[in-house]
Structure 1
């Protein structure tokens, strides 16, 4: 039995198709199955991805 996906977006880094699970929301982070890059969902209709911003460490400051 295959997992159901409603949307497919293209990785901006390598061009691989990235399946977005049903219920995916804008600003959700997904990982490209081909290159491993963390991607942020920027649009649902049409499905679009951008490289996720790198978060700086917060060392309790």
Structure 2
């Protein structure tokens, strides 16, 4: 488990988690991106930007 960087709640990690995966905080709902696995480092997930077909 790690702490959510937004609300401080515990976020569960599964055994085979990899860098780049997106997790949801069950308490505040923020999306978190796994930056590093050992030690576990999280950051807020980047917002998806609209692709206007360019």
User: What TM-score does the superposition give when structure 1 sets the normalisation length?
Assistant: 0.79
Counterpart check, 1:23 vs 2:16 = yes
1:3-53 CA-to-partner distances (Å, cap 9, x unmatched) read xxxxx1111000011011121100100000100000000111111211001
User: What is the aligned partner in structure 2 of residue 40 from structure 1?
Assistant: 33
Q: Which runs of 5+ in 1 are unaligned?
A: 1-7
Q: In structure 1, what is the Cα distance between the partners aligned to 2:2 and 2:52?
A: 34
Runs of at least 4 residues off by over 3 Å: none
| RMSD of Structure 2 on Structure 1 (CA) | 1.0
